[in-house]
């Protein structure tokens, strides 16, 4: 079993206002915590990973090719492999949440 405390995870800031903390993972999936500051935008992208998560604080707006989806505290989401999506914090508070990736993702391909 792997155990990683939130304070012990490997953090990176792939772009201004977006912090990702890599936590526990295995051969088929991993988990990360994220923080997205007000006004920060994750650009539209796609990847071979399936992605699922839950927003803990704030409201995150996902933008897909055909819709926008607001996910607030306690809300969860799933993004299919190769589905184009982006995310925006249009609110006034930091968005915090956790995500799972399968297969494991080490660093996002949309980073600056």
What is the 3-state secondary structure of 64-111?
A: ECCCEEEECCCCEEEECCCCCEEEECCCCCCEEEEEEEECCCCCCCCC
Q: Would residue 67 count as lying in a domain? A: yes
Q: Would residue 110 count as lying in a domain? A: no
Q: Would residue 40 count as lying in a domain? A: yes
Any idea what DSSP says for residue 39?
Answer: T
pLDDT in tens, the chain (112 residues): 988 888 888 999 999 999 999 999 999 999 999 999 999 999 999 999 999 999 999 999 999 999 999 999 999 999 999 999 999 999 999 999 999 999 998 877 666 5
Nearest to 43 by CA among 77, 67, 14, 81: 14
**pLDDT at 43 (0 to 100):** 94
- Tally the domains of the chain: 1
Strand partners, 18: 15, 36
**pLDDT at 110 (0 to 100):** 64
Q: Would residue 1 count as lying in a domain? A: no
Q: Would residue 86 count as lying in a domain? A: yes
Q: Would residue 43 count as lying in a domain? A: yes
**pLDDT at 6 (0 to 100):** 81
Domain of 13, in residue numbers: 6-102
Q: Which CATH number goes with the domain that contains 29?
A: 2.60.120.10
């Amino acid at each position: 079993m792997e155990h990683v405390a939130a304070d012990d995870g490997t953090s990176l800031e792939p772009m201004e206002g977006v912090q990702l903390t890599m936590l526990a993972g295995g051969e088929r999936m991993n988990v990360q915590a994220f923080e997205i500051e007000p006004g920060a935008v994750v650009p539209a992208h796609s990847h071979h990973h399936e992605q699922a998560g839950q927003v803990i604080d704030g409201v995150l707006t996902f933008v897909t090719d055909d819709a926008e989806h607001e996910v607030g505290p306690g809300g969860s989401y799933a993004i299919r492999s190769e589905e184009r999506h982006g995310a925006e914090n249009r609110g006034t508070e930091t968005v915090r949440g956790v995500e799972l990736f399968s297969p494991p993702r080490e660093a996002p391909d949309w980073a600056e």
